[in-house]
């Protein structure tokens, strides 16, 4: 009778019960604002067991916002990863 749209969204929480997607957004905005809070958000992802997601996000942020002004950082980041 009625057409309904069902959206299935799996909510993933971090160790301190933040939504994982919101932590990623907070990390990106804090990095762009040069805020020390970026350390907290990076640790929140890392210590919640999302190490691969963290480094994937950091690579995306680097290539999207920082690569053109600092291409030499790529080698340093590879060593640290």
Question: In the structure, what pLDDT confidence band is assigned to residue 2 with cuts at 50, 70 and 90?
Answer: low
pLDDT for 69 beyond 80:
yes
Model's pTM, two decimal places?
0.83
Given this model, what pLDDT does residue 5 score?
A: 72
Q: How far apart are CA 2 and CA 56, in angstroms?
A: 41
Given this model, what pLDDT does residue 1 score?
A: 57
| Burial (Cβ within 10 Å: 0-12, 13-18, ≥19) of residue 41 | buried
């Amino acid at each position: 009778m009625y057409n309904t749209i069902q959206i299935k969204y799996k909510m993933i929480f971090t160790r301190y019960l933040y939504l994982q997607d919101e932590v990623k957004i907070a990390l990106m905005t804090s990095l762009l604002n040069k805020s020390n809070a970026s350390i907290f958000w990076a640790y929140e992802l890392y210590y919640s067991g999302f190490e691969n997601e963290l480094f994937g996000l950091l690579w995306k942020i680097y290539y999207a916002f920082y690569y053109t002004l600092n291409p030499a950082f790529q080698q340093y980041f590879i060593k640290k990863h």
